[in-house]
Amino acid sequence: MPLSDVLVDEEIEDAVAQTLRSGWWSSGPRVAELEHEFARFSGARHALAVANGTAALHLALLASGCGAQDEVLVPSLNFVAAANTIVHTGATPVFCDICGGDDLNVSPEDLEAAIGPRTRAVVVMHYGGHPCRMDAILELAAEHELAVIEDAAHGPGARWGEQMCGTIGDVGCFSFFSNKNLPIGEGGMVVTDDDALAERARLLRSHGMTTLTWDRHRGHASSYEVVMAGFNYRLDELRATIALVQLGRLERQNAERARIVDLYRAALDGTNGLSMPFAPRTDVTSAHHLAVVLLPEGCERARFRGSLMERGIQTSVHYPPIHRFRAYREFATRRVLPRTEAVAERLVTLPLFPHMSSDQVWAVTDAVASATESVT
């Protein structure tokens, strides 16, 4: 059983075939339609489709003014792209701790403790699609005049109160990688209500050029100016076509994810010393991107995962803390992250995708219960 899976059907095949036959494959009308629909769905004023979630983070950081001599706060329990993009702006990542084993999101209290005279921004990730404590984070950012960049790669459709994750801070970033809630292979989105920030991101996305090929093809422009040194972070028409289909399915598929996580929680939380972080709350809506369990103390994770693999069940770890990687060890001595360290060797991600059957869920829960008994 795979960790995640995509469902390819006739609707997607027909949509892609129509785009192929159109003869226009680079960024064009379908990308524009996707941007319009995603802005409407999220409630953001601007939505800019990009090549991947990493490109979204890089553009958000640059458009927010992050650069050399700046520091950017970021949780270490995170995918390494967050730190890589900070470094690529010339800024320095400052790794921060999580709230604890029951809430794997970044701790607002530790963010506050990490603020220094060079702090320019904070990147928060809604771990597994569960919203961060955005009220405390926004208050902290306002007090210290910090930009808030939301890494909502796990959270399309997640809500903090009435607001969609990604639209709460200054700028939000989404990923449409194949294992995400809105999967298209590679792709992403930048959303913001800030007109100036959106314009900077739009220019940086395509080599700093004032017009795109599609604009010139339609006769809306005959040439272009280059006003800054940008990148090629554009999305293409084929993936935008898939994204439009997947966007129409997102809320239903998120509901299916929630149903499966509820089954996992009922069967596993508290069983043989296991726990599942992020107990259900009424004030937020999770996108349920991940189904994560926290192994009991003393349980050997490698043996536990091996036991599940013997039954054909794939698992993963989200995430090895960034500060432990060789490339970032120089930053690890600057701050202690006790709560991150306490869970780092105990996290395991279980299979989760919208079309999982109940029998598949029971196969996973039976294997997990058996593995915890045998390896603890």
Ordered DSSP codes for 42-79: HT-SEEEEES-HHHHHHHHHHHTT--TT-EEEEESSS-
**Spatial distance between the Cα atoms of 45 and 66, rounded to a whole number of angstroms:** 22
Question: What backbone phi and psi angles, to 5 degrees, belong to 247?
Answer: -60, -40
Please indicate whether residue 51 is annotated as part of the active site.
Answer: no
Question: What backbone phi and psi angles, to 5 degrees, belong to 298?
Answer: 90, -10
**Spatial distance between the Cα atoms of 77 and 98, rounded to a whole number of angstroms:** 7
The gap from C-alpha 159 to its chain's centroid, in whole angstroms, comes to 14
**Spatial distance between the Cα atoms of 130 and 175, rounded to a whole number of angstroms:** 15
- The answer to whether the CB of 171 falls within 8 A of the CB of 190 is yes
**17, two tokens:** 């075939």
**Spatial distance between the Cα atoms of 120 and 279, rounded to a whole number of angstroms:** 32
Nearest alpha carbon to residue 121 among 161, 169, 156: 169
- The answer to whether the CB of 166 falls within 8 A of the CB of 44 is yes
**Spatial distance between the Cα atoms of 172 and 319, rounded to a whole number of angstroms:** 21
The residue from 46, 58, 180, 239 that is catalytic is: 180
**Spatial distance between the Cα atoms of 103 and 109, rounded to a whole number of angstroms:** 13
Ordered DSSP codes for 162-213: TEETTSSSSEEEEE-BTTSSS--BS-EEEEES-HHHHHHHHHHHBTTBSS-H
Nearest alpha carbon to residue 206 among 227, 221, 191: 227
Continuous segment of H or E residues that includes residue 319: none
Positions marked active-site: 180
